[in-house]
Amino acid sequence: MTHNPDPARTPGFRTRAVHAGHGLDPATGAHATPIYATSTFGYGSAERGARLFAGEEQGYFYSRLTNPTVRAFEEKVANLEGLPDAVAFASGMGAVSAVCLTLLNPGDEVIFIAPLYGGTTGFLTEVAAKFGVTVHEAADETAAEALCGPRTRLIWVETPTNPALNIVDLARVSRMARACGALSVADNTFSSPYLTRPAEHGVDLVMHSATKYLGGHGDAIGGVLAGPADLLAEVRGVGLRHVGASLGPTEAFLFLRGLKTLPLRMDAHCAGAAELTAALDGHPALHALHYPGLGRHPGHEVARRQMRAFGGLLSLDLGSQAAAFTFLNTLRLFTQAVSLGDVESLSCHPGSTTHHLLGDEALLRQGVTPGLVRLSVGIEDPADLIDDVLGALNHVGTPARTDRDLSRA
């Protein structure tokens, strides 16, 4: 039987993860995108140099602004997120700061649905607010809608949230942003484009700490923002030309390598987290267990609608900081370290690490309790991770439980 390939067929995610954004190197035929370790590029003539700097001609002239290795990474992320373009930064916080410094002016208002990554919250409330931007924290989508007004410029969300793993309804957020003339921004770090593509739900800008799942191997730090090309041209000009938060070509090469296996790794992360959650559900040492795949999770149905699977993270509340520290210090396979999305399993106490600058009142308001532990499930055999966690829980006393506690567990 003769098969006639369909030229209009869109390749699957795994195919695009391998092939999108690059091909054989035009100069050498190299199969892997080379690391273009150069600060500057010759442009041949004074006339061409003038055109490049004026934006009248596209090309490479200085790696702070663009570099072939970095550009391949940007194009791959844009393809996987289903958006026209992307711009890469030296870190996720580089992306956060570039968005805010580009799009916000004194008198503008920003709404964020808490909790966010502590660094993002800190930038909004301490840096953006210093320049005359009013920042509103909302507990959920309903509270955010009540805060929307004519001065609202950005609505910023994460889903799942860090570290409480709440689920935000992206379609609802995008609708409320459009209704008040604002732009919606989704931090998609915890999901990756394999699990969630916020643009499919109407979100305008999608950012990642590429350090996490996109890279996947704990060996590079970077950030990336995807969205409309015209908007990203502005963000590139501020974030790279003026602020200089530029991703290096070596890091871009490592992210390109990591993205090729993203779907395979995410399948393993998600399967491991689901198995570990099932083994922990109902354990007497737990004050609460947070995982979007649990049917009683308040965001479970929204997660089912906007995620391919429920992610590679879960959070445990052990009732007190002392119990959390005992548990963490007893784990063998979960390395105590901030970050997440590594092939190796990681664990941390958010209240004293990633979110410690928020203060006790904000921590409790955002669900970051003293006993909360975040587990990033790697790609190890789930049975070994289960054995490790259950063994560590043997060293933790059973917390006193209230009716409120039982309803959350």
Catalytic option among 108, 169, 187, 388 = 187
Residue 317: which of 254, 378, 369 has the closest Cα? Answer: 369
The alpha carbon of residue 282 and the mean position of all alpha carbons in its chain are separated, in whole angstroms, by: 29
SS3 126: helix
- The two structure tokens encoding residue 60: 């490479």
Catalytic residue among 36, 43, 60, 117: 117
d(CA 219, CA 224): 16
Residue 207's contacts (CB-CB under 8 Å, 6 or more residues apart) are 92, 95, 96, 99, 185, 186, 187, 188, 189, 223, 224, 225, 226
Catalytic residue among 212, 236, 265, 374: 212
403 is catalytic: no
Residue 92 near residue 99, CB atoms below 8 Å = no
CA-to-CA dists, residue 305 to 113, 145, 158, 341, angstroms: 19, 21, 16, 22
- In angstroms, the CA 40 to CA 62 distance is 4
Give the list of residues 6+ apart from residue 398 with CB closer than 8 angstroms, or none.
Answer: 284, 285
**Tokens of residue 217, six digits:** 């191997």
> What is the distance between the alpha carbons of residues 37 and 104, in angstroms, rounded to a whole number?
34
Helix (H, G, I), strand (E, B) or coil at 113: strand
Q: Are 89 and 98 in contact (CB under 8 A)?
A: yes
Task: Decide if 64 is catalytic.
Answer: yes
Angstrom distance (rounded) from CA 409 to CA 283: 9
Whats the size of the chain, residue-wise? 409
Rg value, the chain, Cα? 22
* Residue 183 and residue 214 in contact, taking contact as beta carbons nearer than 8 Å: no
- 273-285 burial code (b ≥16 CB/10 A, e <16): bbbbbebbeeeeb
Sorted by sequence, the CB contacts under 8 Å of residue 328 that are 6+ apart come out as 334, 336, 347, 348, 349, 373, 392
Question: How many Cβ atoms are within 10 Å of 89's Cβ, its own excluded?
Answer: 31
List residues with catalytic annotation.
64, 117, 187, 212
